[in-house]
Structure 1
Amino acid sequence: MSRIMTVTEDKARSEVLRLYGNRLRIRVCGLYREGDRLLMVRHRGINPSDTFWCPPGGGLQFGEQTREGLVREFDEETGLKIEVGEMLFVNEFMEPPLHALELFFVVHAIGGSLRQGTDPEMSLDGQIIEDVRLMTFDEIKSYPPEEVHTLFGRCHSIEEVFALRGYFGS
């Protein structure tokens, strides 16, 4: 059964393509864990199902250092103030017309409070962040593979996520 796209979904998809489509981006992503749960952000406008869960993060701005960018992105998307730890791996995300090199780091919360944030690059009616929450690995894996970041297809537990090292193509 095909799904009819709403005006809001169409606006979000248009914003994503306008801002990020047909260009290579460098993204920084943070893996924040509380016990057996990992912090995840739900985006719309990324794929045909209009649901895409991934760890918080986003594109670096010109002249911005990597760790600075991750601190900024976490604050914008989640409300958490973080300290950036070890860099774990690089993932090449390629879902044409989107293409990004993603640098994944361990992060630790040092303040703030968890909330659903916004993406300042997006217009008010084109926001793509729909939810921010801590999820167990089983919750993450309960979604169809195309609705979660590809890194979760490489792992069978949250411990394996934090053990990933090296470069991964999409």
Structure 2
Amino acid sequence: MRRLATRLWRLLRPVQSRVMWLLNAKFVVGVTGVVRDDEGRVLLLKHRMWPPGRQWGFPSGFARKGEDFRRTLVREVKEETGLDVEAGRMIMLNSGFRTRVEVAYEARLLGGELRLAPFEILEARWCAPDDLPHDVQPVCHSLVRGSAPRGSDCDSAPRA
């Protein structure tokens, strides 16, 4: 039986990737950035589309097909705030959601002028790491410390 399966799989070589695509789960990738300024403060945004009482969080968005996740972070921060950032080390990778994978990076503010995207963002604040808004997303507390939350797949990611 194994030989037959092996032979069949080899015959399917031209379409193996399509077969694997059909048989496996599809995911979107959410990318988050913990953006710090020169004073060590973190950028928090009040997101219009997020649930009431949990609207404060870090800049984030979904990766486009084939996009490097660090590039996603740079793009999303620029789109939401007008600010330029440089992506640093990965601090979280979590695949525990149904159809979504979450990845978070540290990021350093390079410059730019704060201009909020009004469709997505209601307000922006630079906060000291120990002075986050009371209604911030729970994951922000561990991410601001530069560590992944418990249960994450990325407890100590290598430096980039």
TM band (smaller chain): 0.5 to 0.7
Name structure 1 gaps, 5 residues minimum.
1-22, 119-126
**Shift of residue 78 of structure 1?**
1.4
Paired-residue identity, %: 28
Amino acid at match of 1:31: V
> 1:115–1:132: 8 Å Cα contact kept in structure 2?
no
Give the match for residue 142 of structure 1. 134
Per-residue CA distance 1:37-63 (angstroms, 9 max, x = gap): 21011112321x265111112100112
| CA RMSD across the alignment | 2.9
What are the ranges of 5 or more consecutive residues in structure 2 without an aligned counterpart? 1-25, 154-160
The residue number in structure 2 matching 1:162 is 146
Q: What is the TM-score with the length of structure 2 in the denominator?
A: 0.64
Report the number of matched residues.
127
1:74 pairs with 2:77: yes
Runs of 4+ aligned structure 1 residues displaced above 3 Å come to: 91-94, 152-155, 163-167
What is the rounded CA distance, in whole Å, between the counterparts of 1:141 and 1:112 in structure 2?
Answer: 24
Matching residue of 1:90? 93
Alignment of 1:15-34 (within 5 A): 24-34=27-37
| Local SS of the residue matching 2:49 | coil
| Cα deviation 1:104-133 (Å, max 9, x = unaligned) | 111112231223125xxxxxxxx2311122
Does structure 2 conserve the Cα–Cα contact (< 8 Å) formed by 1:87 and 1:103? yes
Matched, 1:151 2:139: yes
TM-score when scaled to structure 1? 0.61
Aligned counterpart in structure 1 of residue 48 of structure 2, from 41, 44, 49? 44
Q: 1:70 to 1:40 in 2, by over 3 A?
A: same
